Structure 1
Amino acid sequence: MPVSAGACTCADLFDSAPYRTVVADAEGGVRYWPQWVGQAQAEDWFAALRDGIEWQTLQRPMYERIVDVPRLLAHFELAALPAGSPLARMWAQVNATVPGAYTHAGLNLYRDGRDSVAMHNDKLHSLVPGEPIALVSLGDTRRMNLRAKDGGRACGLDLAPGSLLAMSHASQLTHEHGIPKTARPVGPRMSVVFRARPQAAR
């Protein structure tokens, strides 16, 4: 049975199908591959990116003071990546599964359960219309909350290491997503997010 654009179905995500549709829309919706790459590959990518790139701590104004963004960040222009680098290999593999005109990769490193990102949708002016967003999860498992903007039922996806989440451009109009803080003991987790940026936003 088709899932409406306002619905969110997180049950039965781990059957024999290679991916599950969490939200359906005309552009592919939100799809989740729980075992996109094997454990060894996921661990290799995590270690290479954690140790091989320069992570940044950013700050932002909040409640009349400046606070640290609760995670570390890094950004890369895909065309400038060295051939054969871990990120370039990941990009090629993502593009084989979820084809797109990707131009940039944004990385987030959640050091422990205190790191998070609030519910949001990607800024539409910084995305090429019709192009997907592809998110690779590495490190420890963290829950992503997904909520329809029209007040539909919210749900949580436990993003496993080596998993892939694809979100359509259209889904950014209908849904928000975020990584909540957790009191459970969790290890570091990394997301690598591939996006197609318009020329004016680069």
Structure 2
Amino acid sequence: MTTPALQASLFGESGPVTLHALAPRRTELGSGAWIDVQPGWLEGAGEVFTDLVTGVPWQAERRRMYDRLVDVPRLLCFYGEAAPLPHPVLAEARAALSEHYAGELGEPFRTAGLCYYRDGRDSVAWHGDTIGRGSTEDTMVAIVSVGAARQLALRPRGGGESHRYALGHGDLIVMGGSCQRTWEHAIPKTSRAVGPRISIQFRPRGVR
């Protein structure tokens, strides 16, 4: 697999890798769904991006769509509950999120799924994380982004006004309540020249 040789300086960062205090801003979406957003929660995200590009065993997957196999338009890696995470700050982030949301979530974040969007051709289609408990229960999915900003789009299931957030450079978004059941999210393809981005998705047990 070929990956771009990127340095933290590409993203204008040279400081230490650290997490700021959690103070996200909540937006109520309706039907019991909400999102929390905190730009720049992770300081030194460029360095983390570079370490993940080179240190994660990225996998290219193929999935059946209709009657044929197609390439998944992004690279993936999943870390289960017992697996050590590929950068120390990710373990710190998961612990901080678990503590911050303990009263609402009632359980810790346990797994981490990583997606590597190499350019504007890489994407993820409209979906909710409804494999497992997310199909019937309120839950949370916390996403930390490193690398160049990409648009994360949200829309109600069945149609309605959509929202877009440009996530990158250490930004945090948490989708909570009924969001996985009543809303969908996507990273759309774009023809604009965009740099690569990695998203780290923290989930509780039994949510994919």
Indicate the percent of aligned positions where both proteins have the same amino acid.
39
Corresponding position: 1:165 with 2:173: yes
- Find the counterpart in structure 1 of residue 28 from structure 2: 23
User: Is 1:121 the equivalent of 2:128?
Assistant: yes
TM-score (normalizing by structure 2): 0.77
> Residues 103 and 197 of structure 1 are in contact (CA less than 8 Å); yes or no, is this contact kept in structure 2?
yes
Q: 1:16-46 deviations in whole A, cap 9, x for unaligned?
A: xx433233468772111112122x2x11221
The separation in 1 between residues aligned to 2:133 and 2:52, in whole angstroms, is: 24
- Residue 73 of structure 2: SS of its match in structure 1? coil
Of the three residues 60, 63, 71, the one matched with 1:60 is 63
1:63-142 aligned within 5 A: 63-81=66-84, 85-99=88-102, 100-127=107-134, 129-142=137-150
- Where does the alignment leave 5 or more consecutive residues of structure 2 unmatched? 1-22
Residue 45 of structure 1, aligned match among 45, 48, 63: 48
Say if 1:25 and 1:170, in contact at 8 Å, map to a contact too: no
Q: For residues 48-77 of structure 1, give each alpha carbon's deviation from its aligned partner in whole angstroms, at most 9, with x where no partner exists.
A: 222111000100122422111000000002
SS of match in other structure, 1:172: helix
What is the CA-CA distance between 1:141 and the residue it aligns to?
A: 0.1
Equivalenced residues, count: 182
2:11 — aligned with what? none
Unaligned runs of 5+ in 1: 1-17
